[in-house]
Chain A
Amino acid sequence: MNERKPVGQENAMEAAATRKKTTTKPAKLGRDVQARLGQQLRAMYDEVLNQGVPDRFNDLLNRLENNEGKDGQ
């Protein structure tokens, strides 16, 4: 785990926190950064979603349905 250096006015707050650091929490990311990362994540994901359902999966379900009568499991 990398320790991140506090920036700007957080220095004062950090000092005031008397070293009692909440080591469990990583430095908080800015809202804008989070939003941008989220955008990219969804862009990547949506690209796959936009491909719809490939034929192999429709075929698979059709095959299974046609076999149902026969192997009566």
Chain B
Amino acid sequence: MAMDESVRKAILGSVPSLRAFAISLCGNVDRADDLVQETLLRALANIDSFQPGTNMSAWLFTILRNHFRSEYRKRRREVEDSDGHYAETLKSQPEQYGQVEYREFREALNQLPQDQREALILVGASGFSYEEAANICGCAVGTIKSRVNRARTRLAELMHVNSAEDFGPDETVRAVLASGE
């Protein structure tokens, strides 16, 4: 079977998002890329089970998550560098959020239980609906909702944030301070 051009396009189009999800799961870019590669191989080997017209991206996310759960999760804690490699690889941190706050955020995210972190990423960053996220994770919609809520609450606790002011000066103030005035 030849790879359909539209399949190829859809798969490649999903790669950036798959990588972002994989990095959040693995905490390490190289391992995340390996995970994505293995995901694509599995997907293509099982492309017949993909229902045309359904969401290719959600299908790939499901495969990636399942593969991570069966193969990668047990290795995670051994190799994990809570900050090092991720920070290194992603050098160009967005200025407007401030380096310290951004680093704190990543560390806090890393401390979340796996279930909560993936739910939060799927809904809060990958742009899946609660229903799609529930399908990807193989659980009830209500479960996803409660995981997302708990994840947010826990993040705020870990970052000692009770209101938006606790995040520090806003971007404008920060910019002025940084300019040395």
Chain A interface residues toward B at CB < 8 A: 2, 24-27, 29-30, 32-45, 47-54, 56-58, 60-61, 64-65, 68
Contacts and interface: CB of A to CB of B under 8 A. Distances in A.
Given A49-B16, A53-B12, A42 B124 contact: yes
Given A32-B164, A54-B33, A68 B1 contact: yes
Interface string B9-29: 001100111011001100000
B121 interface: yes
Contacts, number: 107
B152 A34 contact: yes
A45 B11 contact: no
B1 A42 contact: no
B55 interface: no
B149 A49 contact: no
A9 to B, nearest CB: 15
B23 A48 contact: yes
Given A25-B149, A48-B19, 9 more contacts: A2-B157, A33-B161, A36-B161, A36-B164, A41-B121, A41-B124, A48-B90, A50-B16, A58-B12
A57 B36 CA distance: 9
A39 B94 CA distance: 11
A48 B16 contact: yes
Interface residues of B, number: 47
Given A40-B101, A51-B16, A64-B3, A30 B153 contact: no
B153 A27 contact: yes
Nearest to A43: B94
Contact of B125 (A42, A58, A60): A42
B164 A60 contact: no
Interface in B25-48: 33, 36-37, 40-41, 44
Contacts of B105: 37, 40-41, 44
Contacts of A52: 16
A29 B156 contact: yes
